[in-house]
Amino acid sequence: MDRKLTTAAGAPVADNQNVETAGPRGPMLLQDVWHLEKLAHFHREVIPERRMHAKGSGAFGTFTVTHDITRYTKAALFGAVGKKTEVFARFSTVAGERGAADAERDIRGFAVKFYTEQGNWDVVGNNTPVFFMRDPLKFPDLNHAVKRDPRTNLRSAENNWDYWTLLPEALHQVTIVMSERGIPASYRHMHGFGSHTFSFINAQGERHWVKFHFVTQQGIVNLTDAEAAELIAKDRESSQRDLFEAIERGEYPRWTLKVQLMTEQQAAQSSFNPFDLTKVWPHKDYPLHEVGVLELNRNPDNYHADVEQAAFTPANVVPGIGFSPDRMLQSRLFAYGDAQRYRLGVNHHAIPVNTPRCPFHSYHRDGAMRVDGNQGGTIGYEPNSKGEWQEQAAYAEPPLALDGAAARWNHRADDDYYSQPRALFRLMDEQQRQFLFDNTARSLAGVPLHIQQRHILNCNKADEAYGAGVSAALDKLRPLW
Ligand code: HEM
């Protein structure tokens, strides 16, 4: 391959060491267009970072079906045991910026793009099965609370806890983040969850509700606050390094994909709202069914091209997989494409990491950075007499019955946000509880007393031992601040 240096227009660069000047001691000449081009490109190298999940790591791999689930979904990627589909996965922390340290106490993003023969299917999940809230109107506020304070430009535990403790539905997620699982040792050593309820549609047009779980085959490994602090002091890129180096060594990380299933009738009779993102489906009632194995086995050759420019969206589903009434999911169906049109441009679908691996034929036209031929001379309207752009009615979903009066229903007034954190707390052994108390206390240290007390009251509603434990852990720290 000819690696000789040229300008972007392909002309040879004769000198890349010295700018053009008027004499050996004179000023630069504006006609040094190579220098101008180099600077101008350099000034535009940074693209906007993702609003959340800015710091991340990605890799390519495969998904292999190990169990038959065709009675639940007609999605072609699950069509036969042994079938393989190419994937790209990106893991991330949420609150930190692009340069943040990896080993922070935070949720981890777990996003997987399946390049199926029926289009891209993206699972854009986290390493936790639930989330802080169930109403998307409160999502921007969450991010303003966990990101930097507008005046100090510092991350603010006060803002963070002030907000969390005023959302009763957040306790479940807060309990997970403050537990020993709050700092995964690496991206390989954590589970992934689609978190929302989605739907499966089978060949008979029957719908099941479904939740996706990626169970790590590397085992769960976590860091304590002290271990993480020591690690960050030496290595801010610990998760990126771990993933990249493991794949280079040929130690390919794997996760078992499992699903929980619920019939429409079970959903209608469920005592809890199965579309509430702050709640899990109890495993004893809705057991896990094994589906296949996700393996990551190839590092991208270029981080910016593939990882930074990757665009995942829960809106990317394929026939046989659909959405659900979860309002958080519905908000996300808009948010991701919209954010990516700003972050990457209207034609971000044409960036190779985002391009379907199957033939695709959408009739969007023009726009900035259209580099794929723009459908050439093909007409851009439908209906037309030429048989172009025909819709594919065979893939319509079965109707979903919905009812109810339109209103801003207040779910906080009458729902139960404490049974599930209570159950989680009671599952923990003594040592796990102590981790939870101490992690919470360290995070709450320095936060105004009324916010600490509000959190303790919330914990008490789950289990008085939870509130008492946090309170005692705070008392132990009190002389320090
Ligand atoms: C990234 C919005 C809830 C997981 C993002 C981005 C936006 C966003 C705008 C940046 C997208 C980009 O620039 O490419 C929202 C909104 C939410 C929400 C509006 C709620 C209404 C969630 C939930 C999960 C989640 C509940 C997990 C279950 C992720 C992940 C990424 C992300 C993993 C990073 C994807 C990647 O690696 O590129 N979110 N989000 N988000 N979000 Fe959300």
Residue nearest to atom 21 of ligand 1 (CA): 136
Q: β-strands 321-322, 198-201: how paired? A: antiparallel
Q: What are phi and psi of 120, to 5 degrees?
A: -80, 135
Q: What is the pLDDT of residue 2?
A: 74
User: What's the CA-to-centroid distance between 52 and ligand 1, angstroms?
Assistant: 7
Asked whether the beta carbons of 57 and 187 are under 8 A apart, the reply is yes
Q: What is the pLDDT of residue 257?
A: 99
Find the length of the chain.
Answer: 481
Which of the 8 DSSP states describes residue 43?
H
User: What's the CA-to-centroid distance between 146 and ligand 1, angstroms?
Assistant: 15
- Residues of each annotated binding site for heme: 336
Q: Please, what is the Cα angle at 270 between 267 and 275, to 5 degrees? A: 60
User: What's the CA-to-centroid distance between 7 and ligand 1, angstroms?
Assistant: 38
- Distances from the Cα of 351 to the Cαs of 309, 346, 348, in angstroms? 7, 11, 5
Q: What is the pLDDT of residue 1?
A: 62
Helices 327-343 and 139-146 pack at an angle, to 10 degrees, of 60
Is 289 tagged catalytic? no
Q: Does the C-beta of 312 come closer than 6 Å to ligand 1?
A: yes
Q: Please indicate, yes or no, whether the overall pTM of this predicted structure exceeds 0.90.
A: yes
Q: Does the C-beta of 331 come closer than 6 Å to ligand 1?
A: yes
- Distances from the Cα of 339 to the Cαs of 76, 95, 348, 349, 351, in angstroms? 29, 16, 11, 13, 15
10-residue mean pLDDT series, the chain (481 residues)? 90 98 97 97 96 98 98 98 98 97 98 98 98 97 97 97 96 98 98 98 98 98 98 98 98 98 97 96 97 98 98 98 98 98 97 97 93 93 95 95 94 90 98 98 96 98 98 88 56
Q: Does the C-beta of 313 come closer than 6 Å to ligand 1?
A: no
Q: What is the pLDDT of residue 188?
A: 98
Residue ranges and CATH numbers for the domains of the chain are: 1-45 (4.10.91.20), 56-357 (2.40.180.10), 417-477 (no CATH)
SS3 395: helix
Q: Does the C-beta of 58 come closer than 6 Å to ligand 1?
A: no
Is 18 tagged catalytic? no
Q: What is the pLDDT of residue 412?
A: 84
